[in-house]
Amino acid sequence: MARHAKSDSKVSRRSFLGGAAAGVTGGALSGWSSASAQAPATAQEMRGTQQMRTDVVVVGGGIGGLTAALRAQQAGAKVIVLEKAYEPGGTTAHSEGTVWTANSYEEIRNDAPAGDPVVQKTVFDTLPEVYKYYESIDAPLGASRGGMTRMRSIPPVAWTQFMVKTFQRGGGTLLVETPMLRLLVNREYETIGVLAEGPKGYVRILSKAVVLATGGWAGNAQLVTQNITRHFGSLHQRNASFGGRKPLLTGDGLLSATEIGAAVSEGGFDGFYGHMMPARPTKPLQNPLTNYSLYHGPWSVAVNLFGRRFADETQGRIAGRKLGRGAGEQLICQETARQPEATAAYIWDEAVNVAHACADCGLGDVDKFPAFRDVGASVATANTLRELADQMEKWGRGIPADEVMRTLTEYNTAAKNGKAWALPIPKAIAAQAAPLEKPPFYAVLGQSGITATHGGLRVNALGQVLSRTGRPIAGLYASGVDIGNFNNYVYLGNLCLGATFGYITGVNAAKQPAPRGGWDIGPLISA
Ligand SMILES: Cc1cc2nc3c(=O)[nH]c(=O)nc-3n(C[C@H](O)[C@H](O)[C@H](O)COP(=O)(O)OP(=O)(O)OC[C@H]3O[C@@H](n4cnc5c(N)ncnc54)[C@H](O)[C@@H]3O)c2cc1C
């Protein structure tokens, strides 16, 4: 075996140090300041470095990775975090920051019965401990709200900065613009590190444990096309790749682990968490993305480019079950992803506008209609439904007015009789199926925004990645959205998945003993 270079216990980060949101419109991390910077060193340090050695490699700098990294370090391990982008934070830094899940385990099972009960129970049971942990290290954390027992908020950018600084002050190494390419295993198929590509070339990092936290595969065209929709190219990347960056969430955790025999989750691959966003905007969207994210789909009538309803706006394809608050919006967004151009128009009236379109999403009273209009998306407003439909036909991507009217007339007739549930495509929740009759009427054209995929790696309650025979793969852990089937079609939170499994895997990875089979790279992957 070649001699191991010693891991750099100082700081190895480069371009994000100087307020590096440059090039990304309204970059989520514009809070990074050069005042907090330590000397950028990576380019020099990486020159000629072919091999490094550490205890734990964490792959990905979002909540799943940063929580794992700090926990592993505090448990006594030397840790290197690899981040593909030029700054850490991932989707986490773009998020609204609510680290939540449902109030009870029963509720989780009711909402997502096809989800993985081990993962769901672990998240539910561990979350209170994680809030205490964040408090104990003085990480910024807001109070719970809305009667939710499992809901605390992080300020995403400040939280990311705090976690990175604390990690670096403790001697941790963060390598940005250094994507992991694949996992390294020895002849006994134990994970013994990663191959990464730094700015100066390939880097082999040998380690006792690897935590995969690469944020899922929302930006992987092949996987999304195979599993979710053939309209991948029409989806907004409502995640770390927002702002025209090259795709970041390309399934590297999933692909590298399955390459060495990892099992994938038994469900969730056809689903994702997302929101409808402006269709084909002519101006760049600015952070926060929530200003452009629709939340009132369940109260609207959603029509595709043919002017027809295509799914139950209140529950998607799940009929007859009462789901958690806001579930319908995530579901109609998923169904829209499968429509032509991943596009649909939401149509609503003034009653819905006041009660739901400008409020009730828990994110402040942002009026989405002008937000869509101001970035050049197609919008319409009129005092009659006929005038509204005529305007929609004149949109650049015109929707036939007569079809819109046929759909709205059929819907309103059924809704007035309290029979929306009996429509050919039902609208099952009566409270969200009022007739649209109070002018003015509104319509906006939206496109599905994919935030995070649901399918992923199969893990046990310790966060160990399981092989296809069901046993843990030595030295391999997963955290955050790389873990599969916590959410299954219905959405039960995502930050919670990174917070809890980061908390769990960090300590377990730190305890990982040296590989029994030694450090020689095995035949499967000889990098
Ligand atoms: C507008 C918005 C609001 C949201 N609000 C909420 C909310 O309130 N509550 C909630 O629960 N969820 C919310 N979400 C979703 C949530 O933010 C994400 O699902 C969550 O942050 C994912 O965390 P993660 O650590 O798994 O992945 P990420 O935070 O995406 O981090 C993954 C990181 O891995 C890096 N990476 C990828 N491949 C590699 C590689 N090969 N090598 C090295 N690094 C790699 C990526 O660049 C990225 O930085 C929101 C999302 C958005 C966009």
**Same domain flag for 459 and 426:** no
pLDDT of residue 248: 96
129 within a domain of the structure (yes/no):
yes
Our mutation pick for probing the ligand 1 site, out of 495, 500, 501, counting the most ligand atoms within 8 A of Cβ, is 495
Our mutation pick for probing the ligand 1 site, out of 235, 494, 503, counting the most ligand atoms within 8 A of Cβ, is 494
CA–CA distance, 226 with 330 (Å, rounded to integer): 20
**Same domain flag for 336 and 379:** yes
Our mutation pick for probing the ligand 1 site, out of 58, 59, 96, 254, counting the most ligand atoms within 8 A of Cβ, is 96
Name which residue sits closest to atom 27 of ligand 1, judged by CA. Answer: 215
Name which residue sits closest to atom 42 of ligand 1, judged by CA. Answer: 179
**Same domain flag for 290 and 436:** yes
Taking a C-beta distance cutoff of 8 angstroms, is the pair 464, 262 a contact?
no
% the chain with pLDDT above 70: 86
Sign of CA dihedral 279, 281, 284, 290: negative
CA–CA distance, 3 with 1 (Å, rounded to integer): 7
For residue 306, the domain's CATH number is: 3.90.700.10
Rounded to the nearest angstrom, the distance between the alpha carbon of 308 and the centre of ligand 1 is 34
pLDDT of residue 1: 29
Rounded to the nearest angstrom, the distance between the alpha carbon of 279 and the centre of ligand 1 is 23
Q: Which atom of ligand 1 is nearest to 60's Cα?
A: 34
Rounded to the nearest angstrom, the distance between the alpha carbon of 195 and the centre of ligand 1 is 22
Range of the domain at 333: 272-450
**Same domain flag for 292 and 433:** yes
Ligand 1 contact via 180 beta carbon (within 6 Å): yes
Q: What type of residue sits at position 42?
A: T
pLDDT of residue 475: 98
CA–CA distance, 461 with 463 (Å, rounded to integer): 5
CA–CA distance, 238 with 221 (Å, rounded to integer): 15
The segments of the chain whose pLDDT lies below 70 read 1-49, 244-245, 316-326, 359-365, 523-527
509, containing H or E segment: helix 495-511
Sign of CA dihedral 182, 187, 193, 198: negative
Ligand 1 contact via 160 beta carbon (within 6 Å): no
Q: What type of residue sits at position 310?
A: F
105 within a domain of the structure (yes/no):
yes
Based on its alpha-carbon atoms, the radius of gyration of the chain, rounded to whole angstroms, reads: 24
pLDDT of residue 287: 80
Q: Which atom of ligand 1 is nearest to 214's Cα?
A: 34
Q: Which has the closest alpha carbon to 428: 356, 320, 302?
A: 320
pLDDT of residue 320: 54
pLDDT of residue 12: 41
Taking a C-beta distance cutoff of 8 angstroms, is the pair 303, 363 a contact?
no
CA–CA distance, 374 with 369 (Å, rounded to integer): 9
CA–CA distance, 98 with 204 (Å, rounded to integer): 36
3-class DSSP state for residue 523?
Answer: coil
Q: Total domain count for the chain?
A: 2
Q: Which has the closest alpha carbon to 87: 26, 156, 160, 196?
A: 160
